[in-house]
Amino acid sequence: MAVYRLFLCFLIFSFALNQTLSYEEDDSPITRFQRYLRFKTAHPNPNYTAPVSFLVDQAQSIGLTARTIEFVPGKPVLLLTWLGSDPKLPSILFNSHLDSVPAEGEKWIHPPFSAHRTDDGRIFARGAQDDKCIAVQYLEAIRNLKSKGYSPVRTVHISYVPEEEIGGLDGMAKFAVSPEFRELNVGFAMDEGQANPGDEFRVFYADRTPWKLVIRAQGPPGHGSKLYDNGAMENLMKSIELVTKFRETEFDNVKAGKAANSEVISVNPVYLKAGIPSPTGFVMNMQPSEAEAGFDVRLPPLADPDLMKKRIAEEWAPSIRNMTYKIEEHGPMRDILGHPIMTPTNDSNPWWSIFKQAVEAVGGKLAKPEILASTTDARYLRQWGIPVLGFSPMSNTPILLHDHNEFLKDSVFMKGIEVYESVISALSSFEGPSRQVN
């Protein structure tokens, strides 16, 4: 009897082990998503070679053509194409970025590139929400459409670009102005969005434009005990007071419900630099002759950039107080016609109606369209008059992009595939009039 029980336990253990192994090794949408998440694409040294190779393999397995373009050596743009029956019609583009932000692994409950899947279906990984989910969902949706015999009328492209997390200057910014991009004749595009803790899908019609603002002050050095006017630190502190007052006014509109966070100009201090270093810290009895502060500034599309520059020059960093400033503008504020960069979300935009109906056709609900508080590569496309919607179908999901313990539930991921299946088929079968990129 003891031998029989031992043999029975062995059989049960073997069965459980085999089930676990087959669960982990099963070639399914979930496991393909996990494989993609395990590529270490975090800055400052993202690995682009391995994920591009994986995506090419996946594309070829479902009959898509693949092309890799390098505008900057070592920073590939991958373009996948599903040819439509009427390639003369403007095409549809779905974009995703290859890179991700760094992760402090010691502060995660599971290693950030392990793609660990918990019993309740949460998949932990850097990039799970931002934005490797849509990268795989695009392909899985096309895989399903092809298995059902669907053929698009319009050509469908998928682009995977580098460097989005550090501004996209060596990625989409170069791709969008290239002859290779113009040849695609893109009529409508979709890019990443964000999760929503509620039961609706968020959708974005514009981004804010980021500025890096550095204000510097100069003044005579002096003894730490002396009181005098126009010291470097004194002048810089005056500027910081004015910046803080402006920030509070903008923030009050958000707190009072008069505007969304993404609809105001945000100004946040990110560093202060001054003082004379010493072996024990800083020299305390000497007032520095230079001081500097850095600010992250975000402008919504309807903000007046010229008015903002005037405020900085005349109020925040006036030369009369021995102050200078530098602005790094990361991305355009206006399109090629001089208009604010926004995509209409009303009947004037036929793509909006088709997209909305496609989401609702699979039981999805859209939240009120909004401006993205941060920024994406979509702005480089909207600059050329291409309508772009930011969309990542993640409802009932905490917003964890750039946070510790970023995760996405497997059920949310699978629902996203269903949503994109509906969206891709609806957009690519639209035969009505639409703008053609010149």
> What count of other Cβ atoms lies within 10 Å of the Cβ of residue 298?
21
- From 99, 130, 170, 406, the catalytic residue: 99
Tokens of 267: 């100004």
Element (H, E) at 79: strand 75-82
DSSP 272-295: EEES-EETTEE-TTEE-SEEEEEE
263 is catalytic: no
Q: What are the Cα distances from residue 391, in Å, to 167, 245, 290?
A: 19, 34, 45
Task: Spot the catalytic one: 164, 170, 370, 410.
Answer: 164
Report how far residue 394's alpha carbon sits from residue 17's, in angstroms, rounded to the nearest whole number. 33
Q: Exposed, middle or buried, 157 (CB in 10 Å: 0-12/13-18/19+)?
A: buried
Q: Are 144 and 422 in contact (CB under 8 A)?
A: no
Residue from 182, 152, 125, 161 nearest 63 by CA:
152
Are the C-beta atoms of residues 92 and 188 closer than 8 Å to each other? yes
Q: Is 99 a catalytic residue?
A: yes
Q: Which one, of 189, 135, 164, lies nearest residue 382 by Cα?
A: 189
Which positions are annotated as active-site residues?
Answer: 99, 164
